[in-house]
Chain A
Amino acid sequence: MKDPFINRKYIIMTLMVLVCLFLIIRLFVLQIVKDTYRLSADNNVLRYVTQYPARGLIYDRKGKLIVSNMAAYDIMVIPSQTSRIDTAGFCSLLGITNDMFKRQMRAAINYSRRAPSVFLKQISDQTYAGFQEKMFMYPGFYVQPRTLRKYSKPVAAHILGYVSEVDESIIKKNPYYKSGDYIGKSGIEEAYESELRGQKGVRIFMVDVFSRIKGAYADGEMDTVAVQGSDIISSIDLDLQEYGELLMRNKRGSIVAIEPETGEVLSLVSAPGYDPGLLVGRVRSENFAKLQLDTAIMPLFNRALMASYPPGSTFKPINGLIGLQEGVITEDTQFGCDYGYLFVGCHGHGSPLDLAGAVANSCNSYFCQTYRRVLENRKYGSVSEAYNRWKEYLNEFGFGSKLGTDFVNELAGFVPSTAYYDKYHGRNKWKALTVISMAIGQGEIGTTPLQMANMTAAIANRGFFYTPHIVKGVGKENSLDPKFSERHLINIDSANFNKIILGMEGAVNGAPGGTAGIARIRDIIVCGKTGTAQNPHGKDHSVFIAFAPKDDPKIAIAVYVENAGFGSTYAAPVASLMIEKYLRDSVSNKAMEQRILNLNLEDTITESETQY
């Protein structure tokens, strides 16, 4: 029998070939033409886990640990990988409310669907342990270990600064930082951020559909290792710092102590301060807001760097030095006092005095006359020109501009220019007498405690200083910015320094009428100068600068005690105690120490007096 439909087998075969071709074309498009699927598959399976390096540790100059790290755990979320989960169970596991869950989820989605964001910060070890076990039930969530700062002693907050989470603006500015990262703010933490933070690494894991980690991707070949942050050896002496903060308790003011031969800052106290431990972990933002809102005492304000005071009588040695160098006086020049010079008064002391005596007695008349001679020096065509010369000396000492330390916020202070006076009095309309208050460190001039300590170091060095710095060395190489080993010379002969130092020695060590006998230490020659910074808002500030020992200076110090009156009353004893503590590791004058410790000036200060 002949089959009339035999040819239909060809139609059927053609149909099959066409259908298979259709499948093959589609496969060709999927597998060869489009390359987005490989990416999608990678996104499915690859989990990039950032390896956070431990932040570098900070030691003091003697190798004592100041800042270390402790572990904390953040719960991270990748919104695109989450699925419907048992929210109630999840919330109770982490001890959060349902509202909080929704809020955090929304915030994470707003940040990015694909990138991880912090869901819950710094959970406790216990919560962490519980969560770790059940994590597989919650795809899209994982734990990110982080380190938090830990402080061995509740001191030096202003020096160290703090670490806080990066905000949007930082993330935008610097792509290194991602949501949830930490960055140093103020102090050493900010100045040495790039050294302390190290280098983040990333480990690539493969996860299955339940986000369970199944092993390293490509045997870890694509991973990058986190580089630990460099340790920092600070120049501060932790014991001295602690002692300084103790002395300044219940007072306002600051202490800056510098090692003259290196410019290393031994101690930098700004009172009132705060416990750096307050700004760590989950309590950080709350505490920070509290500290910031405390406008009465402004604990976050670093007076040592940021407060500008008229230097007062502590400025007299500078004017004496300039007078000597300019040749308008010698060490033997004598001026009578008679309780003042024109409208500048003076206290009762022997008269007339020579230079050393004038320094020791802090005679206003003497330095007014000296200053007038400096400005009216025939050598220069005009007072303006002479004033400019005088200002140059001041600038050499580091006044009127930032010193260039490794503190991130440092005030320049203020030394008026001739243009400043021209503006107020008219060109060539002002004379030496117009600006005579500068002779005794009053008037428009403003300096910071750090600048005063630096000046003291320059005097101790007899004519040079190193830019003050708070860090001795970074990392294993103990490296340091070369600018800190650059000697800044002052164009004043060292012989002239010795003449002034003689007066400073006398002020402390028994010259007749010496103003700072209270600062004397047995067997150590302390050279100092008292000062009283006028305070238009209230009681004057007590100021004292000193260095010791005289012939081999190891410490130069500037002490400010606000609203405490004469320099000899409180600033000088504080400086003396600090010097002895540093040089001898203990203090001999227990009675004086006790008097300072018991002193509470906080109660006597009204809010209106706090003005800067």
Chain B
Amino acid sequence: MKRSINIWVSLDKITILLYLLLVIMGWLNIYAAVYNEEHPGILDLSQRYGKQFIWILAAIFTGIFAILIDSRFYFFFSWFIYGFLMFLLVLVLVFGTEINGARSWFEFSWFSLQPSEFAKFGTAIALAGFLNSRRLDLTRLGMLTQASAIILVPAFLTALQPDMGSTVVFFALFLVLFREGMSPYVFVSGLLALILFFLTLLINNLYLKLGLIVLAILLVWFATRRWKLVLMGTGIFIVIAAVLYVIDYYLFKRLGIELVILFALLVSGIFFAWYIYTKKAMAVLVIYLFLVGSIVFVNSVDVTFNKILPDHQRDRINILLGIKSDPRGTGYNVNQSIISIGSGGLTGKGYLQGTQTKFKFVPKQSSDFIFCTIGEEWGFLGSLAVIGTFLLLFFRIIFMAERQRSVFSRVYGYGVVSILFLHVFINIGMAIGIVPVIGIPLPFFSYGGSSLWGFTILLFVFLRLDASRNEYLV
């Protein structure tokens, strides 16, 4: 079934407009970030702003090329694309050039390429192909496992480089699985695990566990509204914990408070099980299982981190999380970045007037820390405009994804928006010091050919799929 339509007419203009807006804003900010008085021309090819102009032109051509390709190609070749890019990810581990301790780049004589930027597109398209190809039911464990595997393979390969930033980004695709029916428990568990992972490293474990127990008690009260029950449960737990603690203290002397809490929880579980069974209180069961799971998880993260991980890797994570200070390394970067953005005030210091920017106080300012330039020179209002534009783009993509007639296109659309969303959150979060510095670009803004092309292909393939949504029903 094929209807003849003009692709160019049915392209989504709003998305293209937002895309061009972001790319041009990015280019102007790169100009500000690396501005060199001796080469004032924005098209000066010896400077990054001149080069970025070339990348932008190339990206637009790439985009046009992506649109010209028949949408069925992406569907039928999705596995081939995925396979090819996974192959590149393996190849880069062998032949890649090591930059800043990571093998992420292929270096050719006149340009370099970062395959992980394209792998995001490949993974999104493969996921779309996979979810489209069968009867879609992500509540089935088998299908969920396979879908997860598609995501985890590139995540694992990039982690080997190691490029933590890209690895984290692949996890964004679980958002797609959630949209397509994955159990919210799995999704919430994943999120919780992530949060707990960081909290375990940041907070005293005892306090964290006590906090989890208090949270569980509150949730039980919230679910049952029976304070007698809550008090009784808490009482049982405390008595058992106290008895265990005393026994351990005088007899074993080796369990420690951590294990005592876990055992107390498991033993008191017998009493809760009786209650749950008689009253069919599913909510209490869920809360209880989550609590036990969390505490086991915290323990295992703790052991892995402190006993298994080599010292230098632990140090690196500690620095990333700001537990260890490193004012000349990563810490310096974030510190100067916050100063830049904070000094921007409401309206900023004006274009090309940012002193932090102009005098190069923030390293990597044209790539990973491009948001500093926006924050310093355009102020709070400029930051608001940039975040607002991104949010508009996200909503537009979601709107477009939802109007697709094929699961393939819809899943792909969600893949695009998930990847962009996580990039924006982590990149800006990094610049304002609420996310560890893991070095990923701000889509369309940051300097660099690979990331710009990667994002352009990602978005424009979706534009093509959207434009031909009435053409085929793939």
Q: Show the binding face of A for B, using Cβ within 8 Å.
A: 4-6, 8-9, 11-13, 16-17, 19-20, 22-24, 26-28, 30-32, 34-38, 40-42, 44-45, 83-84, 206-210, 214
**Stretch from B248-256, B309-317, B338-346 that touches the partner:** B338-346
B343 touches A9 (CB 8 A): no
* Docked complex Cα distance between A133 and B361 (Å): 22
Minimum Cβ distance to chain B for residue A422 (Å): 76
A9 touches B342 (CB 8 A): no
**Stretch from B40-48, B93-101, B275-283, B390-398 that touches the partner:** B390-398
A31 touches B340 (CB 8 A): no
Residues of A within 8 Å of B360, CB to CB, are 208-210
B432 touches A30 (CB 8 A): yes
Minimum Cβ distance to chain B for residue A25 (Å): 10
**Stretch from B112-120, B379-387, B442-450 that touches the partner:** B379-387
Chain B residue nearest in CB terms to A26: B432
A32 touches B391 (CB 8 A): no
A16 touches B181 (CB 8 A): no
* Docked complex Cα distance between A84 and B336 (Å): 18
Residues of A within 8 Å of B384, CB to CB, are 24, 27
* Docked complex Cα distance between A38 and B354 (Å): 11
* Docked complex Cα distance between A24 and B371 (Å): 13
Among candidates B181, B336, B387, B402, residue contacting A23 with C-beta atoms closer than 8 Å: B387
* Docked complex Cα distance between A220 and B354 (Å): 18
A8 touches B375 (CB 8 A): no
* Docked complex Cα distance between A19 and B426 (Å): 10
A34 touches B178 (CB 8 A): no
* Docked complex Cα distance between A32 and B340 (Å): 13
Minimum Cβ distance to chain A for residue B230 (Å): 29
Residues of B within 8 Å of A13, CB to CB, are 394-395, 398
Chain B residue nearest in CB terms to A28: B380
Minimum Cβ distance to chain B for residue A74 (Å): 25
A83 touches B328 (CB 8 A): yes
Question: A20-B387, A31-B379, A38-B343 are known contacts. Are A4 and B181 too (CB-CB below 8 A)?
Answer: yes
A208 touches B383 (CB 8 A): no
Among candidates B355, B390, B425, B434, residue contacting A44 with C-beta atoms closer than 8 Å: B355
* Docked complex Cα distance between A530 and B344 (Å): 83
Residues of A within 8 Å of B380, CB to CB, are 27-28, 31-32
Question: A12-B398, A24-B387, A31-B375 are known contacts. Are A41 and B355 too (CB-CB below 8 A)?
Answer: yes
B178 touches A44 (CB 8 A): no
B359 touches A30 (CB 8 A): no
Minimum Cβ distance to chain B for residue A159 (Å): 51
Minimum Cβ distance to chain A for residue B281 (Å): 26
Q: Please indicate which of the listed interface residues B175, B343, B360, B398 has the most CB atoms of chain A within 10 Å of its own CB.
A: B343
* Docked complex Cα distance between A19 and B424 (Å): 10
B179 on the A face (CB < 8 A): yes
Residues of B within 8 Å of A206, CB to CB, are 355, 359
Residues of A within 8 Å of B471, CB to CB, are none
A37 touches B343 (CB 8 A): yes
B104 on the A face (CB < 8 A): no
A37 touches B398 (CB 8 A): no
B211 on the A face (CB < 8 A): no
Question: A26-B434, A41-B356 are known contacts. Are A8 and B345 too (CB-CB below 8 A)?
Answer: no
* Docked complex Cα distance between A32 and B425 (Å): 21
Question: A44-B356, A208-B360 are known contacts. Are A23 and B432 too (CB-CB below 8 A)?
Answer: yes
Residues of B within 8 Å of A84, CB to CB, are 328
Residues of A within 8 Å of B343, CB to CB, are 37-38, 40-42
Question: A9-B179, A9-B398, A27-B383 are known contacts. Are A19 and B339 too (CB-CB below 8 A)?
Answer: no
* Docked complex Cα distance between A9 and B71 (Å): 24
B180 on the A face (CB < 8 A): yes
Residues of B within 8 Å of A26, CB to CB, are 432, 434
Would you call the interface of chain A mostly helix, strand, loop, or mixed?
A: helix
A23 touches B355 (CB 8 A): no
Question: A9-B402, A41-B355, A41-B356 are known contacts. Are A23 and B425 too (CB-CB below 8 A)?
Answer: yes
Residues of A within 8 Å of B346, CB to CB, are 31-32
Task: Give 10 CB contacts A-B under 8 Å.
Answer: A5-B179, A12-B175, A20-B390, A24-B383, A24-B384, A31-B380, A38-B343, A44-B359, A45-B356, A214-B359
A40 touches B179 (CB 8 A): no
Top 3 A-B residue pairs of the complex, sorted by shortest distance between their CB atoms: A37-B342, A208-B359, A41-B343
B359 touches A209 (CB 8 A): yes
B291 on the A face (CB < 8 A): no
Q: Please indicate which of the listed interface residues B379, B384, B402 has the most CB atoms of chain A within 10 Å of its own CB.
A: B384
* Docked complex Cα distance between A8 and B411 (Å): 13
Question: A5-B179, A20-B391, A23-B432 are known contacts. Are A30 and B341 too (CB-CB below 8 A)?
Answer: yes
Tell me the count of chain B residues lying within 8 A, CB to CB, of chain A. 42
Minimum Cβ distance to chain B for residue A24 (Å): 6
B421 on the A face (CB < 8 A): yes
Among candidates B179, B181, B355, B359, residue contacting A12 with C-beta atoms closer than 8 Å: B179
B32 on the A face (CB < 8 A): no
Residues of A within 8 Å of B328, CB to CB, are 83-84
**Contact bitstring B334-374, A, C-beta under 8 A = 1, else 0:** 00101111111110000000011011110000000000000
B387 touches A30 (CB 8 A): no
Residues of A within 8 Å of B217, CB to CB, are none
Minimum Cβ distance to chain B for residue A301 (Å): 55
Question: A9-B398, A45-B361 are known contacts. Are A27 and B341 too (CB-CB below 8 A)?
Answer: yes
Minimum Cβ distance to chain A for residue B354 (Å): 9
Residues of B within 8 Å of A12, CB to CB, are 175, 178-179, 398, 414
Among candidates B181, B361, B398, B434, residue contacting A5 with C-beta atoms closer than 8 Å: B181
Residues of B within 8 Å of A4, CB to CB, are 181
B402 touches A31 (CB 8 A): no
* Docked complex Cα distance between A206 and B132 (Å): 59
B293 on the A face (CB < 8 A): no
Among candidates A19, A30, A35, A42, residue contacting B338 with C-beta atoms closer than 8 Å: A30
B181 touches A27 (CB 8 A): no
Residues of B within 8 Å of A9, CB to CB, are 179, 398, 402
Residues of A within 8 Å of B336, CB to CB, are 44
Q: Please indicate which of the listed interface residues A5, A27, A208 has the most CB atoms of chain B within 10 Å of its own CB.
A: A27
Residues of A within 8 Å of B355, CB to CB, are 41-42, 44-45, 206
B30 on the A face (CB < 8 A): no
* Docked complex Cα distance between A32 and B346 (Å): 6
* Docked complex Cα distance between A450 and B384 (Å): 79
B429 on the A face (CB < 8 A): yes
B428 on the A face (CB < 8 A): yes
Minimum Cβ distance to chain A for residue B188 (Å): 11
Q: Please indicate which of the listed interface residues A16, A22, A26, A84 has the most CB atoms of chain B within 10 Å of its own CB.
A: A16
Residues of A within 8 Å of B398, CB to CB, are 9, 12-13
Minimum Cβ distance to chain A for residue B74 (Å): 22
* Docked complex Cα distance between A5 and B184 (Å): 11
Question: A23-B429, A44-B361, A45-B359 are known contacts. Are A6 and B345 too (CB-CB below 8 A)?
Answer: no
* Docked complex Cα distance between A45 and B362 (Å): 12
A8 touches B178 (CB 8 A): yes
* Docked complex Cα distance between A22 and B380 (Å): 14
* Docked complex Cα distance between A45 and B390 (Å): 32
Question: A19-B425, A23-B429, A31-B380 are known contacts. Are A44 and B339 too (CB-CB below 8 A)?
Answer: yes
Chain A residue nearest in CB terms to B381: A31
Residues of B within 8 Å of A44, CB to CB, are 336, 339, 355-356, 359, 361
Residues of A within 8 Å of B178, CB to CB, are 8, 11-12
Chain B residue nearest in CB terms to A6: B402
Q: Which of B34-84 contact A (CB under 8 A)?
A: none
* Docked complex Cα distance between A38 and B345 (Å): 8
Chain A residue nearest in CB terms to B402: A9
Minimum Cβ distance to chain A for residue B381 (Å): 9
Question: A12-B178, A26-B432 are known contacts. Are A40 and B339 too (CB-CB below 8 A)?
Answer: yes
A209 touches B181 (CB 8 A): no
Q: Please indicate which of the listed interface residues A8, A32, A210 has the most CB atoms of chain B within 10 Å of its own CB.
A: A8
Minimum Cβ distance to chain B for residue A297 (Å): 57
Residues of A within 8 Å of B428, CB to CB, are 23
A27 touches B361 (CB 8 A): no
B402 touches A38 (CB 8 A): no
